Amino acid sequence: MADELPLLRTPWQLGGLRIPHRVVMGSMHTGLEVGDDGEGLAAFYRERVDGGAGLVITGGLAVSEIGRGGPDYAVLPEAAPRLAVAVRAVHEAGGLIAAQLFHAGRYAVLPEGSVAPSAVPWRAARGIVPRALDGHEVLATIDDFARAASAAHSAGFDAVEVMASEGYLVNQFCSPITNLRDDEWGGDAARRRRFAVELVTAVRGAVPAGMAVLVRMSGNDLMRGSSTPEEINDIALALVDAGVDGISVGVGWHESVVPTVQGSVPRGAWLPEAERIAAVVGGAVPVIASNRINDLRDAERVLERGTVDAVALARPFLADPTIVARSFAGDFTRVNSCIACNQACIDRSLVFQPVSCLVNPRAGRETVFPLELSATRSRVAVVGAGPAGLAAAVDLARRGHAVTLFEAGEPGGQFGLAARIPGKEDYALTVSSALAELDVLGAALSFGVTATTAALAKFDGVIVATGVRPRTIDIPGFDLPHVISYEHAIQQGVPDGPVAIIGGGGIGVDVASFLVESHDERSRALEFSTRFGLGPTDGLARPGSALSGSSGRRAIAPRPGSEVTILRRSGKFGQGVGISSRWVVLSNLRAAGVRMLGGVQYRAITPDGVEVESAEGVELVPARTVIVCAGQVERSGLVDELDAAGIRHLVVGGARHAEGVDAVRATSEALAAAREITTASR
């Protein structure tokens, strides 16, 4: 087999470190950095180094109490003994590890408040104003970074990375938006970057010459009025002069109105920012690109451009700890790809909940759900091949159990529908990788077959993951021929003409996206670049439609947003979509011209549309097609039959409880059920 990743396999030098390949596991805050003896974090990193990670960057380790992003951030040097446990685990597995030195600045969410270069709140701060650091405190903060770097060295870390991107404290000092000072630490671009330079100089001096020092710097703040590209270039050159051994390039602030990591962001959209920094430093130090790269074949394409030295991936290591080993072996079909949903990772970290992964619910819980062969082999049936059923079946098969997966229709369930939504095409990879894994592990796949109690009685246990079906509505005219379910709309398409969508939750906005956004990734990438003024680039986008090809369906042309109206009785539009993605979805729909009409009462559906009443009065919303997105109900008829037959079973996901169900809950329940069903035989 031809090697598809020759450049990624190439070793490289980062200061005094020799890195075995050019895939870096980027920083991710997990919540495992605090709260136990360090074994949870150690197991998390060990599994990823065993899976091929060469250099791991930790989540942000605060350099002081006031620098914590929130209550679940570890602080150096106090946390050094616990972190040393993770360092030893990485080294024992043959990997290298860098400590990311972190100060949240005004982004800190702490009872004692936050500090910043100037007393400028951020837009989500709900009126809380950070306290401006005085001159002595600025110097003390630099000392905090140096002391934390020294502690990292004592704990055995191979490198340190200074977090100077994504709008945190160092980035705040560099930006004219947040640095309004007129002293030695602000007033012009040179003084604004002085904090970063002095800090890196202090860190460099606090660790041995052979210990690598990186900086994660912003290639583009994506904030109106912030540092110009020329000023950012000057920062990069000043950091090289200060002694950094490498630069990792990030983009955007948490408050930016430009999306950076969501699934709708084109693959490789931010590569030009890293390439600009690489050109500026001219090979003086290695430059690492990052953001929206989830396939190592795309990472190889990045290196083929000859501009940057390595690529950092973060969330893909949550989704599949073995992404490097499997990709290097050419086993791409079994890689469990990150789908950029953010629901169990970024969204949880923002509210200080333990981080995991929707498509890999073991992530962050490796000690709770160890992956080891079971002493006894159970015969287990899983009914339903949606995300929950697939998660249960894969875990059972990996632990050596005999698994039969039943699916009455096509595998995929709600993910099969989601994969048809523009920007969610990667959901199909979750299904295909799970099926490939099950095939290799010898599971029996029984598709197009309805599981009966007679067949299920032969197993030691059954997991019911039959999912949900669309909820029907009780509105006069609901049975007219132009009223269809969201499943019908997504699977069969929608006739030309105006459309009214009844229900404005997550499914409703997905259906609207299905109608008005391009189904060609390259077209969307070019639209993204134009919309946000990023220059004419399609990043690493792949041409083609998720609905074209072997399915025989034609690619769907986007319809004018003015033809689409989303109706909602109460609540927020997009309710149920993750907090880091909802605003992006709604922004895209508004930009397309979709009308969102809330606070309505439905009077009737007529051949011409939907008659509603709102505070503005009675209105007929014109519609040639009415799509019902009014929630879901359990598809659980099998459960009563299993109960009556006395067959041991567990019910998970939407089949257990449809109201408010999401795939995070479904796959997590499936993992727990896969463990419980094999704890004792009948």
Q: How large is the greatest C-alpha to C-alpha distance in the chain, in angstroms?
A: 80
β partners of residue 115: 131
- Residue 51 has phi, psi (to 5 degrees) of -85, 5
| Chain center to CA of 159 | 26
What is the rounded radius of gyration, in angstroms, for the C-alpha atoms of the chain? 26
Report how far residue 265's alpha carbon sits from residue 258's, in angstroms, rounded to the nearest whole number.
Answer: 9
For the chain, how far is it from start to end, CA to CA, in angstroms?
46
Q: What gap in Å lies between CA 107 and CA 122, rounded to an integer?
A: 8
Would you give the DSSP letter of residue 65? G
Residue 574: count other Cβ atoms within 10 Å of its Cβ: 24
In whole angstroms, give the CA distance from residue 179 to residue 182: 9
The CA-based dihedral angle spanning residues 308, 19, 63, 109, taken in that order and rounded to the nearest 10 degrees: 60
- Cite the active site residues: 168
* Residue-wise burial string across 303-313, b where 16 or more C-beta atoms lie within 10 A, e elsewhere: beeebbbbbbb
Count of other CB atoms within 10 angstroms of residue 497 = 12
Within 8 A by CB and 6+ apart from 71, the residues are: 110, 352
| 440: β partners | none
Q: How far apart (Å, rounded) are the C-alpha atoms in residues 571 and 599?
A: 8
CB atoms within 10 A of CB 660: 12
Q: Say if CB 337 and CB 298 are below 8 A apart.
A: no
Cis peptide upstream of residue 259 (ω within 30 degrees of 0): no
Q: Which residue matches tokens 């451009």?
A: 305
- Give SS3 for 115: strand
Cross-strand partners of 159: 98, 212
| Residues ≥6 apart with Cβ < 8 Å to 348 | 31, 354, 355, 356
The answer to whether the CB of 251 falls within 8 A of the CB of 270 is yes
- Asked whether the beta carbons of 389 and 405 are under 8 A apart, the reply is yes
